[in-house]
Amino acid sequence: MGNIIGTIVVFFLARKIGRPVIEKLFKKERLIRYEEAINRHENWLLFFYFFPILPLDILTAAFGLSATTAKKFFLAAGTGYAFYSLVLNFFGDYLASLVF
């Protein structure tokens, strides 16, 4: 639950106040390039919520700044976190049964 709540907070903070901050940190050309990359690879990037390899907080903020709808993002992130938690619990249970 903490991951999901944190994801919601980061997404909406990036959506509400992140744009002016990002525009001060990056040149407009670079920002456009990042937006295009996120839009082009949106589904693949959402897949990382199932198997978190990248730092998800950074990815969540990037989605908050992108044109991705909140509904699509939360559906993918929530499902991904649930799947990831189930896999970790099953794997942890399996490892515990080997040791004990």
Token pair of 72 as six digits = 């699509």
Could you tell me where the DSSP H helices lie in 1-100?
Answer: 2-13, 19-25, 28-40, 42-47, 56-65, 70-99
Q: Which residues contact 4 (CB under 8 A, 6 or more apart)?
A: 77, 78, 81
Locate the domains of the chain by residue range: 2-99
Question: With a threshold of 0.85, does the pTM exceed it?
Answer: no
The CA distance from 56 to 17, in Å, is: 19
Q: Which pLDDT tens digit goes with each residue over 10-54?
A: 999 999 998 888 888 888 898 888 888 888 999 898 888 888 777
Q: Which pLDDT tens digit goes with each residue over 51-91?
A: 877 788 888 999 999 889 999 999 999 999 999 888 888 88
Token pair of 50 as six digits = 């199932």
Query: Which residue, 39, 46, 51, is CA-closest to 86?
Result: 51
